[in-house]
Amino acid sequence: MRSFIMALSAASLVIPATMVFPTSQVEAKKKHYQYREWRGRDGRTHCRKPDGTTGLIVGAVGGALVGRTIDTRGDRTVGTLGGAIAGGLLGREIDRGGSRRRCR
């Protein structure tokens, strides 16, 4: 019984590794349009940049929590708001990439 369970568990580990999912030509063409830069009909080069919304939200929440733990006097509103503002700005810049020269 034990050897049967071991053989079954070994087979269950090998089978998913050997499966190959065929990709069609449609899926291969979809990847072509996911570039960050492209040339438009007017001849200009366009770019898809992240706007930083996710970093803004995550940074603001994290900054508010850190600001609240640092400010220990009173009702801690000033520390919470200050941390949220600083964390939001920092998270937005990190999400945008910080580099302006990547795509024109």
Asked if pLDDT for residue 10 goes beyond 60, the answer is yes
Q: Where are the domains of the chain?
A: 24-101
Model pTM greater than 0.85?
no
Q: What is the pLDDT of residue 59?
A: 92
Is the pLDDT higher at 85 or at 39?
A: 85
Asked if pLDDT for residue 32 goes beyond 60, the answer is no
User: What SS3 state is found at 16?
Assistant: helix
Question: For residues 75 and 53, what is the distance between their CA atoms, to the nearest angstrom?
Answer: 29
Q: What is the pLDDT of residue 98?
A: 62
Q: What is the pLDDT of residue 87?
A: 94
The model's confidence at residue 4, banded by pLDDT at 50, 70 and 90, is: confident
